[in-house]
Amino acid sequence: MALKFIDQADLTDKKVIARFDFNVPLDKNDPSIITDTTRIDEALETIKYIFNNGASKLVLMSHLGRPDGKPVAKYSLEPVAKYLAEKLDTDVVLSESALDRSIKTLLNLGETKILLLQNVRFHEEEEKNDREFAKKLAEYGDIYVNDAFGAAHRKHASTYEINAFFKNRAYGGLLLKREISALSKIVESPKTPFVAIVGGAKVSDKIKIIERLLSNVTHLLIGGAMAYPFLKASGYDIGTSLCNDEDIALAKKILREKSGHKIVLPVDHLCSKEFGGEPQVVENRNIPEGLMGLDIGPKTLDIYKEKLSGAKTVLWNGPMGLFENETYSKGTFGIAKILSDAPSDCFTLVGGGDSVSAVNKAGLASKMGHVSTGGGASLEYIEKGNLPGIAALRFGLE
């Protein structure tokens, strides 16, 4: 049965409990400052929709950081409550804890319309997907909404088990709807040529997605530290570049597969003697002893540009180098620029925290087909075609 979204619900006079992903980055020196509000901004559409369509109360929930099941002051949702109040131009009450006794009183008697529960991960039951905890949360609402795409790959009480208490009253939010619709263009039958660009650091984390993509893509372009195990496995020297034996073994396995020839590897590099040190261009695949690769080189970027020309679907996950350091950011920003110049009949999807932050930093996010709010979630969705948080919304529908 098809998933139901919030725009199919009758919200008149209903109390709505909604899970969002307000796991925003905070300033290291001053955790009251949110350094990137994107995830909250993306949630506003659903929040406003719920209010403009007659709901009487809205209880918001989210996690923030990894407090490991106990209250940790620096992971308080207070800055989120403040930002929401500003954006919605209304009071947003933050409860002392997700299980605070005053919550029900506030919901039944008070004037308060929007209540934000304190970080659900302050309770160890959340990550344990505990049924009793889920039941207590469920008591706050007549209707449940999940709009936390970034947390939908987690099987936690507020994303998964809570659905058991909302048979036929559980809905996906509008952000979840947008994410699923964009990802379906990759998961179902992507228009070809379909080119995937995979970068970042850990082969083992992305191995399944590479295997899954290989059967569908026209080319799979590899960059970042991800490239070195593949180069090593192909017999090239990689100097002191980031690489381990386990990743080389995984790369060998992938290269041996039937579609292994679709993998395209860097032909030149920007290297240094030390991490983030003076840059040195290496004009061929082999990296000399004592040097480490920190970005793809200019010839590689040209080849990747050529492979991307004419593509109808592009998926990008993971940076092409140590892009946080400007000296080694040209490959990553170069890819962002190429994708932003893609013709309108090419659908570009950017997922994964670092590539998303590169696209945002370059001011090119609006030029992409879709920028996913969930790194791990988008990869897992492409790999499996579903996520626990989305599957659970169907509990009551069977």
Residue 143 binds to ligand AMP (criterion: CB under 6 A): no
**CB within 8 A of 151, min separation 6: which ones?**
19, 21, 23, 63, 159, 374, 377, 389
Count residues contacting ligand AMP (CB under 6 A)? 17
Nearest distance, CB of residue 197 and ligand AMP, angstroms: 12
- Cβ closest to ligand AMP, residue 45 vs residue 324: 324
Q: Which is nearer to ligand AMP, 280 or 309 (CB)?
A: 280
**Choices 89-97, 159-167, 198-206, 341-349 (CB under 6 A): range interacting with ligand AMP:** 198-206
Closest CA to 48 of 96, 82, 2, 16: 16
Is the dihedral angle over the CA atoms 329, 336, 297, 374 positive or is it negative?
A: positive
Is-catalytic flag, 57?
no
Among residues 15, 19, 39, 154, which one is catalytic?
Answer: 39
Task: Determine, following the binding rule CB under 6 A, whether residue 297 of this chain makes contact with ligand AMP.
Answer: no
Give the residue with the Cβ less far from ligand AMP, 352 or 389. 352
199 part of the active site: no
Binding flag, residue 247, ligand AMP (CB under 6 A)? no
Residue 173's H or E segment, with its range, is none
CB of 264 to ligand AMP, least distance (A): 16
Candidates 297, 353, 375, 389; catalytic one: 353
Please state, in angstroms and rounded to a whole number, the distance separating the CA atoms of residues 192 and 194: 5
- Closest listed residue to residue 292, CA positions, set 279, 303, 302, 304: 279
Helices (H), 53-173: 78-88, 102-108, 124-127, 131-138
Please provide the DSSP assignment of 246-294 as one string.
Answer: HHHHHHHHHHHSTTGGGEE--SSEEEESSTT-S-EEE-SSPBPTT-EEE
CB of residue 230 to ligand AMP, shortest distance in Å = 12
Give the shortest CB-151-to-ligand AMP separation in angstroms: 17
Binding positions for ligand AMP, 313-342, rule CB under 6 A: 318-319, 321-324
C-alpha 73/C-alpha 46 separation (Å) is 28
End-to-end CA gap in the chain:
7
3-state secondary structure (DSSP) of residue 356 = helix
Per-residue binder mask for ligand AMP (CB under 6 A), 338-367, x = binder? --------------x-x-------------
Angle between helices 375-384 and 174-187 (to 10 degrees): 50
Beta carbon nearer to ligand AMP, 229 or 319: 319
Q: Which of 376, 384, 394, 396 is catalytic?
A: 376
Nearer to ligand AMP, 161 or 383 (CB): 383
Cβ-based nearer residue to ligand AMP, 205 or 257: 205
Pinpoint the alpha helices (H) of the chain.
38-52, 78-88, 102-108, 124-127, 131-138, 174-187, 203-214, 227-233, 245-256, 298-308, 330-340, 353-361, 375-384, 388-392
Is 141 annotated as catalytic? no
Does 224 contact ligand AMP by CB under 6 A? yes
* Residue of 202, 299, 361, 367 with catalytic role: 202
Q: Looking at beta carbons only, is 141 or 293 nearer to ligand AMP?
A: 293
Residue 202 interacts with ligand AMP (CB under 6 A)? yes
Please tell me the distance from the alpha carbon of residue 93 to that of residue 36, in angstroms, as a whole number.
22
Q: Is 242 in the site for ligand AMP (CB under 6 A)?
A: yes
Chain residues in the site for ligand AMP (CB under 6 A): 200-202, 205, 224-225, 242, 293-294, 318-319, 321-324, 352, 354
- The residues annotated as belonging to the active site are 39, 202, 353, 376
